[in-house]
A and B are shown apart, each in its own frame.
Chain A
């Protein structure tokens, strides 16, 4: 158990649906991250939040909308997705933002998203 939970674990949605992915950590971490893992591609960083403020948006399409209401919770709101958005979406947290000496990061189990 890594301490980072994600719900739902599996999600199938149509292109016109609106859904949200949830990530939760009670590790006392200040930074949270969304990653995308597509089949046969490296992990892609999507968003970074530090103390509830977004510090990085890695050119992610606007159909993905993150929300961080507090340091323990992170959401990814999804709307009008495309089939190529089908992937594993991983949430992670770290005590501080990752940097030169900071690489303590914990991953959640991921949400497997299928867009039909």
Chain B
């Protein structure tokens, strides 16, 4: 059965810190890995990664995928209080209509 594990479960940092969130997976017929940020009720999409070693970047956020070691990291530099949220990782497989398997999320709190 497909499995996605995120770590740490929760994290408290201060503004200006850099954080690294981890996502490891065991999925057959991997297609892509997605990162979401959830601060309201419905998560918002951040990145989709399909190829190993290619960093995707958006402002202070960046992410990279390692398909050999089966993990991805999400980096946030110079954190701000507005980065406080749950960060979800999900993996898409070619099985069962390209549906997603979600990790349990990392709860990030950034203190002033």
Residue B7 at the chain A interface, CB threshold 8 Å: no
Looking at B85, B97, B101, B102, the one whose CB has the most chain A CB atoms below 10 A away is B102
Residue B78 at the chain A interface, CB threshold 8 Å: no
0/1 per residue, B29-58, Cβ < 8 Å to A? Answer: 000000010111111110000000000000
Contact A107 B104 (CB under 8 A): yes
What is the size category of the interface that chain B forms with chain A? 20 to 34
CB distance from A67 to the nearest CB of B (A): 19
9-residue interface stretch from A21-29, A71-79, A98-106: A98-106
Contact A40 B41 (CB under 8 A): no
Contact B41 A112 (CB under 8 A): no
CB distance from B96 to the nearest CB of A (A): 5
Binding site for A on B (CB under 8 A): 1, 36, 38-45, 84-86, 88, 90, 96-102, 104-105, 107
